[in-house]
Amino acid sequence: MVLQLGDTVPDFTQASTKGEISFYDWAGDSWVVLFSHPADFTPVCTTELGEVARLKPEFDKRGVKTVALSVDDVESHAGWTKDIEETQSVSLNYPILADGDRKVSDLYGMIHPNASNTLTVRSVFIIDPQKKLRLTLTYPASTGRNFPEILRVIDSLQLTDNYKVATPVNWQDGGDCVIVPSIKDEAELKERFPKGYTVVKPYLRMTPQPNK
């Protein structure tokens, strides 16, 4: 299965380090970051799991739940969790799905045969409260993921869902935004963007971030 942006992601029920998870029920009305790992006791992933635990207050502020996945079983995850907590000096405060039967991996297209026929690639899925897929990223095994960038994307998605703006290159929360080209009416522009805007080109109009 190839999931594309805007698709409704599949539901599933699977064991995890926090007990059995029925994904839709567990997610509720939250945003979700689901991120996969090739196997337990892998070095780069160990650092990533620790970083996500440290960033939990930032995910919480944005109404985001995080869940990891590896193809190993819960017992193996429990041993890995001890290593993560010891080496990364953090308590693992979110679940790791056990996907020994590859059910979730297959549903979400995490097995890339040219990389490995049996192990998941290192994917990231950002899923909104309507269970729509909003972002996918796939990393090589040798490169650790940049979770501040994932938080930045969530900030952008949540902002642009609520205002008629897009975020330009290298945007950070609080920075100027781009007014979407579909808004042409001068009265609507003044109503939506009372802080004003700058016309760089007719199709490129910058405005202060509307919710700041």
Q: Delimit the CATH 3.40.30.10 region(s) of the chain.
A: 13-145
Could you give the CA distance from residue 33 to residue 67 in angstroms, rounded to a whole number? 6
From the list 37, 119, 111, the residue with the least C-alpha distance to 80 is: 37
From the list 29, 42, 93, the residue with the least C-alpha distance to 66 is: 93
Domain boundaries 13-145, corresponding CATH code: 3.40.30.10
> Distances in Å between the alpha carbon of 184 and those of 169, 205, 207?
23, 11, 15
pLDDT (tens, 9 = 90+) of the chain, 212 residues, equals 689 999 999 999 999 999 999 999 999 999 999 999 988 999 999 999 999 999 999 999 999 999 999 989 999 999 999 999 999 999 999 999 999 888 998 899 887 555 555 555 689 999 999 999 999 999 988 899 999 999 999 999 999 999 999 999 999 999 999 999 999 999 999 999 999 999 999 999 999 999 99
According to CATH, the superfamily of the domain at 163-207 is: Antioxidant, Horf6; Chain A, domain2 (3.30.1020.10)
Question: Residue 172: which residues within 8 A CB-CB, separation 6 or more?
Answer: 152
Q: Catalytic residue numbers?
A: 45
Could you give the CA distance from residue 53 to residue 76 in angstroms, rounded to a whole number? 19
Residue that the structure tokens 């985001």 belong to: 64
Cβ pair 183, 189 in contact under 8 A: yes
According to the model, what pLDDT value does residue 142 have? 85
Helix axes 74-88, 43-54, angle to 10 degrees: 70
Q: Delimit the CATH 3.30.1020.10 region(s) of the chain.
A: 163-207
